Amino acid sequence: MIAQALSAGVDWVQIREKDLPGAELLALAGEAVAEAKGHSRVVINDRLDVAMAARADGLHLGETSLPVAQVAAWICKARAAGQVE
């Protein structure tokens, strides 16, 4: 479905798979990011680890997610270490 949406020209895709195990979510996110490269954005819900590993374009944080300040600090550390762009 993601590939169909991307080929139809959507601007961004938000992946909200709360029940998928981490490895399966990372595989899905990685495929979506690769497919979207250059013409769409991919946002992952709640999973900073998956968003960073898949090199997603964004992370959606809900009211029960990690605090924004904590996520921002982790991303800054990862950037300083050259782990993310």
Domain chopping of the chain, boundaries: 2-80
The pTM is what?
0.84
pLDDT in tens, 5-53: 998 999 999 999 989 999 999 999 999 999 999 899 999 999 999 999 9
In 3D space, the residue among 37, 34, 32 whose CA is nearest the CA of residue 16 turns out to be: 32
Q: What pLDDT does 70 receive?
A: 92
- Contacts by residues 51-54 (CB-CB < 8 Å, ≥ 24 positions apart): 52/78, 52/83, 52/84, 53/26, 53/29, 54/26, 54/29, 54/30
| CATH value of 2-80 in 3.40.50.150, 3.20.20.70, 3.40.50.2300, 3.40.50.10860 | 3.20.20.70
In sequence order, what DSSP letters do the residues of 36-70 get, joined into one string?
HTTT-EEEEES-HHHHHHHT-SEEE--TTS--HHH
pLDDT band at 84 (very low <50, low <70, confident <90, very high): confident
